[in-house]
A and B are shown apart, each in its own frame.
Chain A
Amino acid sequence: MKTTNIMLCGVGGQGIVLTSKLIAAAAVERGIPVKSAETIGMAQKGGSVFSFLRLGEGASSPMFPEGSADILIGFEPAEAVRMFPYLKKEGAVIVNTHAIMPVTASLGGSDYNGSEMLDYLKKHARSLTMIDGEKACTEIGSPRALNMVMLGAAVATGLLPFTLAEIEETMKATVKPQFVELNLKALRYINL
C-alpha cells in the first residue's frame, strides 16, 4: 500500500491536533500504520500550527518533505498558502475561506481578509474545495464544528483510505456522547 501524506494547518486553537488524532485513529482501526508530528508548545497560542500525517507502509519519518502531500487541509487561507509548497503537484486542497486576522495585522491597520490567499490557491491548486467555515458553523450551530466540517470535506475527496461511514464510527467512539449528533452534522456538511 502506498503512503498517503496529509498536511493539516491553521492557527492555534482551531482543533487541528484533534482532527489529526481522529484521522490517525481511523487508520489505526483499519490496521494502517500511521506516523504523525505536530506543533505543541508556544506556537499553539495563536501562532501558525501544522500537523503532518503519514498513512501506510514505507514512511520512516513522521514528517515529509515539500512536494509530498496528497492532501492539504487548511483551516485558514494564509496558513494554507504557507504550507502549500508541501503539496504534490496533483494534490488536493481543502480550505476554510474565513480568515483569522493576526494581532499584528490589526495593529498595523492591515486589511488582510484572505481573498488574495484564496486567489493564489485557485490559481495553483489542481483540486480545490473551498468551505465557508463561519457560515458552516452558524448553520450547524456551534463555533467548534469547523474541524469536523473540514474532515468531512477531506474524506469526500476520496484521497483518504477510508469512507465517511468509517470515520463516523471512529468519531462516535472518540467524542463524548452529547457531541455525537453535532459532529455527525458537521462531518456530513459538505454533502448537504
Chain B
Amino acid sequence: MHKEFLMGNAAIGRAAIAAGLNVIAGYPGTPSTEVLETVARNNNGSLYVEWSVNEKAALELAAGAAYCGARTMVTMKQVGLNVASDPLMSLAYIGVKGGMIILVADDPGPISSQTEQDTRTFAAYSKLPCFDPSSVQEGYDMVAEAFGLSEKYHTPVILRPTTRVCHAYASIDVRDENEYSVNKPEGFVRDPSKWVIFPRLSYNAHINIEARNVKLSAELSDSGRNTIVPASDAACRKGIASHGASYMYIEDALKGEPAPRLFKVSNPFPFPEKAALAFLDGLDEVLCIEELDPVIERELTYICGKYHLNVKIRGKLTGDVKNAGENTCGSVAANIASFLGREAPAAAEAETPPALPVRPPVLCAGCPHRASFFAVKEAMKGRKAVFCGDIGCYTLGNAMPLDMVDTCLCMGAGVNITQGIGRIEPDTTCFAFVGDSTFFASAITGAVNAVYNQADMTLVILDNSTTAMTGHQPHPGTGRTMMGQVVDNVSIEAVLKGIGVKTVETVDPLDLKAAVDCVKRVSAEKGVKAVIFRSPCAVLIKPENPAVIDADKCVNCKKCIRSLGCPGIVMREGKVAIENSLCTGCGLCSQVCPVGAISVKEGGRK
C-alpha cells in the first residue's frame, strides 16, 4: 500500500486493474470518460480495452467476456445506461460468471448532460446491487468489494460515482503492484440452460433475484459501508441520512459543531434495512440530504411505515431539500442549520458586484462546425428549413448568432426527428446534423430508417475525425483503437452508400463557397442525401498564424462578428480586432468580410 494523488476516475480505473480486470469497454461521456482512459494508459498488455461504438455494444461485449469468467468493467455516463438498458435488464436475469462492474457516472446539476436521472433508481429498477462512493478513496476501495460481490452472487454490480467524486482529486491509499489480484478466465462453458434467456428461465431467475436481494440487504447492513455515526449529544433525537458527495459536505459543515446522528448509505440497493432500523431507533426526525432522486428518503419513509415507527422523514419530498440541481457545501450547511434550528451561516455582506458578463460555452475559435453551420445557413437563406441537431460539441451551434440547432434530444435522435417533421411539413427542407462519433454510436439505424421509408431529408455529417466533446477519443472512423492499433477506418461515405443513400458529397467547410454550393446542390435533390463536412477539430491541429485586420480597409461593419460569433474576433476600443491568443487562422472570417479587410498569411489553412 502506498499514497498517490489521483483523480476519482483514475482511482477507479487503477483499482480495477489491481483487482485483476481482464476486459474493459465503454463509450465516452462526461463525467465517466477518464476511467477507461486510465486503464488504457496503464495497460501492460494483459487486458483488453476498447471504446465501443455505444454503451449497448460495450455491455454486450463485457457480458460475453464475463460468461467466460473474465473480470469486466463497462463505463458510461448516466444517459449511456439508457442505451445499454436493453442488455442490462436481461443480463440481470442471466447473470455472470466473472465479476462485472457497470460503472455509471451520474451528473447532478446537470453540468454536462441532458437529464438528472439517478442511477440508484435504475439499480432498483434492474434489481442490481449498487455502490455509491462519497470520496475518491471510497471509489477506489469499492471496486474490489464490488467485484467480490459480483462473483459471489454471479450478478453485475453497478458502481455510480457522481461528478464530484469522478473529477475530484485526493491523496489516497493504493495497492502496490505485488498486491494486485490476477484473474485467469476459465473460458466459455456451453450450457444453454444458463446462457439462453427464455420465459421459463426468467421466471426462475426472478424468484432467485428477489431472494438474493433480501439476503444482500442484510449482508450490506453489516458490510461496514452503510455506517452510523452516533450524535455528539446522546440526548439528540434528530438524525441526518445522506450519500455520495453530499456526505462530505455534511462532514465539513458539522466540523466543530454538535452533530446529530449520521447515516451514510453507500448501498442504495438492495437498501440496508437492518442498518436503517438501527439508525432510526429512538429518533424523532430525520433529514435526508440527497442529490438527484429521493432514494434514501423513500426507503426510510417505507421502513417507518412497515415497522410503525413514529419518525418524521424529511427531505426533497417534504420540500426541505431542493429537488433539482447539485448540492453544494453552502446548500447543505443551510439545510442542516434549518433542520437543527440553528442560525444559518452568515452570507457575505459585500456589496453587489457590477453586472457580470455571461459566458456560455461556445464553439472554439477555428472550429470547423461553425463554418459548416454557416454554410448551411447561407445556402438556405430565405427558404423554409428545419435544422435538427444532436449530441456533441456541435450542439453549441444553437448559440447566437449561428442559431442553427432547432432540436436536440438524445444521441442519434436528430436523424429520426427530422423524418417526423418532414412527414408533417412536406414543404420544409429538412436537415439533420450529426457528428462522426454520434453517427457511429446511434445514427446509422436512423439513416437506414430514412432510406427504407422514403424520407426526404439531408443528412449532414460534421466529421472532425474525433469525439471532441469528451476529450478526443478515437472511434470507428479514426482508424485507431484503444489497444494502440492502427486499423482500417470505417468510411462514413461507404456506410451511407451501402445503405442506399445515392448522393453523398464530401466538402471542406472552411472553403465557404464550395460548401455553400454543395449544400444548395445536394439539398435540392429528392429523397435521402448526405453532405459530409470534413475538417479536423481545431483543438487537435497546430494553429496557423492568426488572421490580420487591415485597419485601412475595415469599415467596422461587424459582419464577421454578427455572422460567425467567433471568440477569436472581439471589439477593442470600438474597433473590430483579432484575439491573437485564440485565433487559429482558419480564414472563415476572411471569406465573410464584405470589403476584404481580413487576411490570413500565405500558407494558412485557407
Contacts and interface: CB of A to CB of B under 8 A. Distances in A.
Contacts of A79: 359
Contact-residue size bin, chain A (C-beta under 8 Å from the other chain): 35 or more
Interface string B87-116: 000000000000000000000000110000
B223 interface: no
Contacts of A61: 164, 245, 248-249, 251-252, 329
Given A42-B469, A45-B396, A58-B255, A36 B168 contact: yes
B36 to A, nearest CB: 15
A41 B112 contact: yes
Interface in B559-589: 561-562, 565-567, 569-571, 574, 579-582
A181 interface: no
Contacts of A11: 359
Nearest to A85: B348
Nearest to A28: B5
Contacts of B358: 102, 104
A42 B168 CA distance: 17
A42 B31 contact: no
Interface in A46-85: 46-48, 58-67, 78-79, 81-82, 84-85
A108 B239 CA distance: 51
A33 interface: yes
A42 B359 contact: no
A79 B358 CA distance: 10
B189 interface: no
A13 B361 CA distance: 12
Nearest to B349: A89
B169 A40 contact: no
B350 A124 contact: yes
A40 B561 CA distance: 28
A120 B566 CA distance: 29
B112 A143 contact: no
A42 B329 CA distance: 23
A167 interface: no
B296 to A, nearest CB: 19
Contact of B111 (A25, A43, A64, A110): A43
Contact of A102 (B112, B350, B359): B359
Contact of B5 (A34, A63, A65, A84): A34
Nearest to A98: B581
B330 interface: yes
Contact of B112 (A42, A67, A78): A42
Given A59-B252, A61-B248, A107-B561, A43 B361 contact: yes
A47 B135 CA distance: 27
Interface in A78-103: 78-79, 81-82, 84-85, 100-103
Interface string B320-362: 0000000011100100000000000111101101101111111
Nearest to B570: A101
Contacts of B581: 143
B427 to A, nearest CB: 32
Given A28-B5, A60-B251, A106 B571 contact: yes
A36 B169 contact: yes
Contacts of B574: 111
Contacts of A40: 30-31, 167
Contact of A46 (B30, B164, B350, B359): B359
Given A24-B5, A42-B111, A47 B168 contact: no
B170 interface: yes
Interface in B378-400: 393, 396, 399-400
Contacts of A65: 252-253, 328-330, 333, 345
A61 B289 CA distance: 15
* Residue of A11, A37, A110 with most chain B CB atoms under a 10 A cut-off: A37
A34 B359 contact: no
A59 B350 CA distance: 26
Nearest to A134: B581
B351 to A, nearest CB: 7
Contacts of B305: none
Contact of A107 (B348, B565, B582): B565
Given A28-B5, A65-B345, A107-B562, A45 B330 contact: no
A36 B8 CA distance: 10
A64 B170 contact: no
A34 B350 CA distance: 30
Contacts of B333: 65
Contacts of A45: 361-364, 393, 396
Contacts of A25: 5
A119 B166 CA distance: 38
A12 B581 CA distance: 13
B401 A41 contact: no
B171 interface: yes
A8 B397 CA distance: 29
Contacts of B357: 78, 101-102, 104-105, 110, 112
B573 to A, nearest CB: 9
Contacts of A38: 167
A120 B353 contact: yes
A59 B171 CA distance: 12
Given A65-B328, A103-B565, A111-B571, A81 B361 contact: no
14 contacts: A24-B169, A40-B30, A41-B111, A41-B112, A42-B111, A47-B361, A63-B249, A65-B253, A66-B330, A81-B354, A82-B356, A100-B579, A101-B571, A117-B356
The 8 closest A-B pairs by CB, nearest first: A41-B112, A61-B248, A65-B329, A60-B251, A62-B168, A41-B30, A47-B361, A45-B361
